[in-house]
């Protein structure tokens, strides 16, 4: 039918706009959905690529610093990196575990302590395992080794730490070549670092943490000779307002003498061990003979007659005569530093635990400026440094 004249005279704009709206809008909607879909697919692909372990060395991130890291992947990486804990990757042997060096696909190097297992497959040192985890998850300090994570698995149970290139203090002191590089400034800084860490554990942690096994084998150094206390398997968290008793723990030669008749755990156990360790750093060897002689000297009256082999002879030894002979004697300002370190070490070795200083006092003393020596360094005797009074 032909259009009536009335309808044919109407403008066609509105009808055209309606057609355009019905065609273009759905098309734009579909296009927008496609763009969003492609964007999400690309994001997912990038995320998966970032999460994949890679051996190309382009991803140098610390896996353990990522809050959503894949623990299973790290476990498998550690097994692969150590060749299922092959002995060629072993870097140390402890009382309840063996330590391995593991380089992860990301390039990160970690130390892994694999716990010894008994023949029936159960952990022989579960208490040490849990003690170390409890202690290291509560504390953070630049002079305490970092615990990245742990794994409790029927096949392998281990703890993962930061790797410290310098190795143990015991290893350095027993190596003549390494000892030559371990000069007096570095030794004093190591002692200061250990004191700061123990002061933090005893007074800045709640509850306080008592290590109970401070020794040269449990102090690790990085490439800059910064000390890190390690091996918290015997550590105890002190219960406030109660007595803390335990069986013997620690290393013979570093343990406090009162452990022979009491098993009470307190911070003075670490103080004594610190004193032994500090003398070991100064002497370059364990000071067992010197400690025995000094202890006997305190028990004898000074007016008693004695032979040339009497303990009093040891008590009057000059400080310069006990220092590590691998190094020349300290000079200038370092003389005061060494004298103070020796004095604090001897004070920490007092047979009465109440007469020993606290690690907080030791840490503060090592951080303060000191007046010049009143006496020539080479004439200072251990007797003058060993304060027998509380």
**Catalytic center residues:** 213
Q: In this structure, what DSSP letter does residue 309 have?
A: T
CA 225 to chain centre: 13
Burial of 51-81, coded b for 16+ CB within 10 Å and e otherwise, reads: eeeeeeeebeeebbeeeeeeeeebbebbbeb
Could you tell me how many residues make up the chain?
390
**CA distances from residue 345 to 61, 122, 135, 260, 377 in whole angstroms, order as listed:** 41, 41, 26, 21, 17
C-alpha to C-alpha distance for 295 and 210, rounded to whole angstroms? 25
Residue whose structure tokens are 């942690």: 205
Query: Contact, 331 vs 310, CB < 8 A?
Result: no
Alpha-carbon dihedral sign for residues 252, 342, 201, 139: negative
* 3-class SS of residue 238: coil
How far is it, in rounded angstroms, from Cα 16 to Cα 314?
Answer: 113
Give which of 334, 294, 331, 284 is closest to 181, Cα–Cα.
284
| Rg (alpha carbons) of the chain, rounded to whole number | 33
What's phi and psi for 278, nearest 5 deg?
Answer: -65, -45
Q: Per DSSP, which regions of the chain are E strands?
A: 90-93, 97-103, 109-115, 147-151, 158-162, 167-168, 209-210, 219-221, 227-229, 236-237
Output the six-digit token pair for 174.
Answer: 């027993």
């380089």: which residue's tokens?
A: 103
Q: Omega into 182 within 30° of 0, i.e. cis? A: no
What is the Cα–Cα distance from 107 to 53, expressed in whole angstroms?
11
- Residue 103: CB atoms within 10 Å: 15
- The DSSP element (H or E) to which 331 belongs, if any, is none
């Amino acid at each position: 039918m032909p259009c009536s004249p009335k309808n044919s005279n109407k403008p066609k704009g509105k009808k055209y706009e309606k057609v355009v709206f019905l065609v273009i809008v759905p098309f734009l909607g579909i296009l927008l959905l496609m763009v969003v879909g492609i964007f999400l697919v690309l994001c997912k692909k990038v995320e998966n690529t970032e999460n994949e372990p890679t051996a190309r060395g382009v991803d140098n991130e610390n896996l353990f610093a990522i809050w959503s890291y894949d623990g299973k992947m790290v476990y498998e990486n550690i097994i692969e990196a150590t060749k299922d804990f092959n002995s060629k990757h072993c870097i140390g042997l402890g009382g309840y575990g063996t330590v391995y060096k593991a380089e992860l696909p990301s390039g990160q190097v970690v130390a892994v302590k694999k716990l010894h297992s008994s023949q029936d497959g159960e952990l022989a040192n579960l208490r040490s395992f849990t003690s170390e985890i409890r202690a290291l998850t509560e504390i953070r300090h630049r002079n305490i080794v970092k615990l990245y994570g742990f794994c409790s698995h029927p096949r392998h149970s281990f703890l993962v730490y930061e790797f410290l290139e310098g190795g143990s203090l015991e290893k350095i002191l027993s190596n003549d070549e390494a000892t030559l590089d371990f000069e007096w400034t570095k030794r004093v800084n190591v002692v200061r670092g250990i004191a700061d860490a123990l002061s933090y554990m005893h007074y800045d942690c709640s509850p306080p943490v008592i290590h109970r096994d401070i020794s040269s084998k449990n102090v690790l150094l990085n490439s800059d000779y910064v000390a890190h206390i390690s091996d918290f398997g015997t550590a105890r968290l002190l219960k406030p307002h109660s007595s803390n008793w335990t069986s013997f723990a620690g290393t013979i030669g570093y343990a406090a003498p009162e452990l022979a008749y009491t098993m009470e755990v307190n911070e003075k156990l670490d103080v004594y061990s610190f004193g032994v360790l500090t003398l070991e750093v100064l002497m370059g060897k364990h000071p067992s003979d010197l400690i025995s002689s000094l202890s006997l000297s305190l028990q004898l009256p000074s007016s008693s007659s004695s032979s040339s082999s009497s303990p009093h002879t040891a008590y009057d030894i000059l400080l310069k005569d006990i220092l590590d002979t691998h190094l020349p004697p300290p000079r200038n300002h370092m003389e005061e530093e060494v004298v103070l370190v020796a004095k604090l070490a001897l004070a920490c070795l007092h047979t009465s635990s109440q007469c020993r200083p606290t690690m907080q006092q030791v840490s503060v003393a090592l951080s303060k400026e000191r007046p010049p020596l009143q006496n020539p360094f080479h004439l200072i005797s251990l007797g003058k440094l060993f304060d027998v009074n509380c």
